[in-house]
Amino acid sequence: MAERNRPLIGVLWMLATGLSFVAMTVFVKLVGTRLPAAEVGFLRYALGLPLMLPLLGAVRRARVSAPLWRLFAWRGAAHAVAVILWFFAIARLPVAEVTALNYLAPVYVTLGAALFLGERLALRRIAAVGVALAGALVILRPGLREIEPAHLAMLGGSLALGASYILAKRLTRQASPELVIVMLSTMVTAALFPFALIGWVWPTAGELGLLFLVAVFATLGHYFMTLAFREAPVSVTQPVTFLQLLWSALAGWAIFDEAVDLWVIAGGSHIVMAVSFIAWREHVLARRVTPPVEAVKS
């Protein structure tokens, strides 16, 4: 499917994406640490499957080729890894810290494209990656405080999420948003099931209710993000994600009595600025490569 160019609509969809993901993060943290992370992830996606029913009509009409099936499967596997690590981290780290470290995913996308897809990294993009990694060091402050397993899980989860983002962007060019979100939910549920059985703990009714809310807001967030990708270039929508850090800090303070960590805000700001610059440069280069409409018509 062709990418549209409606910046305002794309920005609004990305605002809705950020609010949905902050709400999801809050509900995951409210679930706590009693349930294993893989089980929490599986229940979140399993409870979210009924939410896909209104989309089945569009999915049934879709024609999915074998290469597209493989893309869906690879994205499901990458996202399942991200879910396990991310749910482990968020139950143990402040909300704003998780959000700030999660911004590293697009940086991993840039590095992955250079390492595995042969894309050339210009000096300015290398500098932007360096700024983003420096921002991560500001957040983690190694040597000044203890680096916990949850921090390592968050870094690994961001890496897996970066792989999922690469595949999501490719999928939005070939499939409808409805098909992309249904296949993500289905594939991730299947991938998480065997891991959820390991050390299974029966959830309470309250935990199931919270996880259903997690499923609702996570599904909305992914759907809104897919729409944002379709409506406008990433260079337009990416800077909007900075607001998610502010909302996360506010939610952590208001709901969990977490102090607003200025180191996290500063480091997260560095990462967001670097990621926004990378997205802007990619958009500029794409416009140079792609001829304008007038040139195509002439």
pLDDT confidence band for 278 (50 / 70 / 90): confident
pLDDT of 285 above 80: no
For residue range 162-171, list pLDDT tens digits in order: 888 778 777 8
Give a yes or no: residue 162 inside a domain: yes
Give a yes or no: residue 118 inside a domain: yes
Are 232 and 7 in contact by the 8 Å Cβ rule? The answer is yes
pLDDT confidence band for 204 (50 / 70 / 90): very high
* Torsion angle in degrees (nearest 10) through CA of 174, 234, 80, 49: -60
226: left (phi over 0), alpha (psi -120 to 50) or beta: alpha
Non-local (6+) Cβ contacts of 128 within 8 A are 274, 275, 277, 278, 281
Share of the chain above pLDDT 70, in %: 86
Cα 109–113–119 angle (5° rounding)? 145
How far apart, in Å, are the Cα atoms of 78 and each of 19, 171, 271, 286?
Answer: 24, 14, 22, 26
Are 283 and 239 in contact by the 8 Å Cβ rule? The answer is no
Give the tokens for residue 187.
Answer: 């594939």
Q: Which of 141-150, 208-217, 288-297 has the highest mean pLDDT?
A: 208-217
For residue range 12-62, list pLDDT tens digits in order: 888 899 899 999 999 999 998 999 999 999 999 999 888 888 877 777 777
More confident residue, 264 or 112: 264
Give a yes or no: residue 2 inside a domain: no
pLDDT of 146 above 50: yes
pLDDT of 3 above 60: no
Closest CA to 90 of 258, 206, 220, 276: 258
Give a yes or no: residue 1 inside a domain: no
pLDDT of 2 above 60: no
The tally of domains found in the chain comes to 1
Give a yes or no: residue 82 inside a domain: yes
Average pLDDT of the segment spanning 87-110? 83
d(CA 252, CA 142): 23
Non-local (6+) Cβ contacts of 47 within 8 A are 208, 211, 212, 214, 215
Q: pTM (2 decimals)? A: 0.76
Share of the chain above pLDDT 90, in %: 25
Give a yes or no: residue 238 inside a domain: yes
Give a yes or no: residue 234 inside a domain: yes
Q: What is the pLDDT of residue 283?
A: 64
For residue range 223-233, list pLDDT tens digits in order: 888 788 777 76
For residue range 176-199, list pLDDT tens digits in order: 877 888 888 899 999 999 999 998
d(CA 138, CA 132): 10
Token look-up 């009409």 returns 61
Are 42 and 80 in contact by the 8 Å Cβ rule? The answer is no
Are 163 and 112 in contact by the 8 Å Cβ rule? The answer is yes
Average pLDDT of the segment spanning 66-91? 91
> For residue 281, what are the domain limits?
7-297
Distance of CA 259 to the CA centre of its chain: 25
pLDDT of 114 above 60: yes
Q: What is the pLDDT of residue 282?
A: 67
Give a yes or no: residue 95 inside a domain: yes
